Structure 1
């Protein structure tokens, strides 16, 4: 039995659900997750993660994005400045990481795209080999096709990814589809989907599911709905001080993010309209639900996700939340089983890859 320690970026829901999925895979293979270190975000860590993660949880301060006043787009310049001002705090966080490493003595450290876990390796010798997990490492594959232009954004994304993976022995590159071969220490692997998703039986009811991780986009959905009141929308956001359920009209409802309710709505919807986070798109693809992806403004990584997912047959990409073209797309969409077949290979591929590190 090997001991694994997780370091998880708390900014994105996807990193948290990936950690839960890998926990189950490792436990089923006879291994143990001894601790989970979570880089704190301005977002509340979801209750489902705290409840279902079986290892001790510890939190530390980690870099975060800065958004505009409308909680829509990412401000790259202000993000860099804000995090540089917190250098002393992050140095203290790295000392915390060191103490936890010594306390738990893992055989392998698995980093779910937390920058400080990689930055730590710039200044210290880690007590165990590090493996990094994320779709971001698929973007480093030499055959990955980036959106046209965006030279500065591409440089900054790759800089962040390289620092996050500094001295990593293996990069497990999550991919929407198995269309690229392994390259050097990059191994192309399926998405990590939780058992709660894998156990769902999809059906189709007459509504569109909307999910926005930046609640400012909710106003765009409301504006579209006013022009299209006959289309039923079930939406999820994390707007502060908003009620648990808010009925804007008979056909427009906003819910605070709830794991079980969100998955049930995804199971039964006609299609999904969302920002271009990797995990939500994968869940929709697994359930055979077409997706309209709207990359978060200023987050180049999401533009890459959207282009890659479109290539894999997930759906369409839009610059805004005008849902009308998506309704037309739904008329001709034909689901495939490719994602299901790909995801089913995940347990074997992850266990084989990680056991080779031991």
Structure 2
């Protein structure tokens, strides 16, 4: 089959999931004909995606989260204002997506939680089947455990997840652990998608903590803790484009520009991971047997959910700030879940192939006729 990817460009997780899915599908003879990625001002799609997706990459303007300048987390008011003021630009993006799909004419579209996926189906009533893949779809599962007193946020995030997957044929819900699927809700619970580069790593236990943050504004908290605990070696990855690729704050604190190979090498050798509760980062750490301290971005409900789910799954501990003293206290109590997690993960490839093969059969029965133009 010829398959087109629609990928949300915010953060790293959806990008690496697309790379992993591409690796699986190509190994079974399918072709990724293009990857369309949403971008926004001030945020670049990491170079590792262009290098590893092995398909033409097309960009379009997409909404993104606006963060407070001093590390206060998501600025909801400014985020909503920016989204509404940019509506004309986003409508043009929808048209650009449709034009590309009409020209490429794939057999299947796989959307990695892209904002425009469901809207494209709604507006253009495409006959090309779409499969939507994300951890966020697990939050639509009746058995998912949410933070307390969060009913309104639950409704809002699930409304967003539904909007990204309107008229989709399937929702593949990535999960830290095995949970029964709900076909009646178009929810198939599947293992995480990890790149082969992660699976091939040989983990060792180093003497430093690795820190990954979704936005460089959060670095202030890390620096404040570090100044009180300079004896703890920290290596931090951020998206700050205003400094060099490697910025040594002092002898025991170093900031690195996001670099896939470098990050994975350090993940394999760190003593523990501190991360802003992104699903993909936690999965990589669990596979390698690394304890995790999950720090949800303030006012970011999705990450709060990820953190609770991660704790239930045995990934580590969660806290509201980059107070790494909590991690130091937790480490002696951590129980390694890597073997259980790896067994769950390794059941995934056949599951994904089986789910996608359904559409391969449909394409064989109803072969498309390519335009002579």
TM (norm. structure 1) is: 0.97
Structure 1 residues 152 and 182, CA, compared in 2 at 3 Å: closer, same or farther? closer
The residue number in structure 2 matching 1:40 is: 39
The residue number in structure 1 matching 2:306 is: 305
Partners of 1:146 and 1:108 lie apart in 2 by 33
1:339, CA displacement in angstroms?
A: 1.2
Contact 1:37 1:58 in 2 (8 A): yes
The residue number in structure 2 matching 1:130 is: 130
Contact 1:235 1:254 in 2 (8 A): yes
Contact 2:70 2:220 in 1 (8 A): no
Partners of 1:69 and 1:114 lie apart in 2 by 26
Contact 1:296 1:302 in 2 (8 A): yes
Contact 1:210 1:233 in 2 (8 A): yes
Partners of 1:77 and 1:167 lie apart in 2 by 30
Matched, 1:156 2:156: yes
The residue number in structure 1 matching 2:94 is: 94
Contact 1:176 1:339 in 2 (8 A): yes
Contact 2:279 2:306 in 1 (8 A): yes
The residue number in structure 2 matching 1:5 is: 4
1:342, CA displacement in angstroms?
A: 1.1
1:226, CA displacement in angstroms?
A: 1.2
Bigger CA drift: 310-319 or 69-78?
69-78
Contact 1:266 1:272 in 2 (8 A): yes
The residue number in structure 2 matching 1:181 is: 181
Partners of 2:82 and 2:121 lie apart in 1 by 22
1:179, CA displacement in angstroms?
A: 3.0
Alignment length, in residue pairs?
A: 357
Structure 1 residues 144 and 183, CA, compared in 2 at 3 Å: closer, same or farther? farther
Contact 2:71 2:219 in 1 (8 A): no
**Helix, strand or coil: the match of 1:153?**
helix
Partners of 1:182 and 1:198 lie apart in 2 by 29
For residues 77-118 of structure 1, the C-alpha deviation after alignment (integer angstroms, 9 at most, x for no partner) is 322221111111111111111111111111111100111121
1:71, CA displacement in angstroms?
A: 4.8
Matched, 1:82 2:82: yes
The residue number in structure 1 matching 2:118 is: 118
**Helix, strand or coil: the match of 2:136?**
helix
TM (norm. structure 2) is: 0.93
Partners of 2:36 and 2:189 lie apart in 1 by 25
The residue number in structure 2 matching 1:237 is: 238
1:200, CA displacement in angstroms?
A: 0.2
Partners of 1:152 and 1:179 lie apart in 2 by 24
Bigger CA drift: 69-78 or 220-229?
69-78
**Helix, strand or coil: the match of 1:127?**
coil
Contact 1:136 1:173 in 2 (8 A): yes
The residue number in structure 2 matching 1:194 is: 195
1:257, CA displacement in angstroms?
A: 1.1
The residue number in structure 2 matching 1:31 is: 30
Contact 1:143 1:180 in 2 (8 A): no
**Helix, strand or coil: the match of 1:12?**
coil
1:151, CA displacement in angstroms?
A: 2.8
Contact 2:147 2:305 in 1 (8 A): yes
- Pairwise CA RMSD: 1.3
Partners of 1:191 and 1:216 lie apart in 2 by 28
For residues 246-292 of structure 1, the C-alpha deviation after alignment (integer angstroms, 9 at most, x for no partner) is 22222111111111111011000110011000000000000000000
Partners of 1:66 and 1:343 lie apart in 2 by 33
1:76, CA displacement in angstroms?
A: 2.1
Partners of 1:302 and 1:196 lie apart in 2 by 25
The residue number in structure 2 matching 1:19 is: 18
Partners of 1:182 and 1:342 lie apart in 2 by 18
Partners of 1:80 and 1:247 lie apart in 2 by 36
The residue number in structure 2 matching 1:335 is: 336
Alignment of 1:142-291 (within 5 A): 142-184=142-184, 185-291=186-292
Contact 2:273 2:285 in 1 (8 A): yes
The residue number in structure 2 matching 1:324 is: 325
Partners of 2:180 and 2:75 lie apart in 1 by 32
1:3, CA displacement in angstroms?
A: 1.2
1:197, CA displacement in angstroms?
A: 0.4
Partners of 1:140 and 1:294 lie apart in 2 by 23
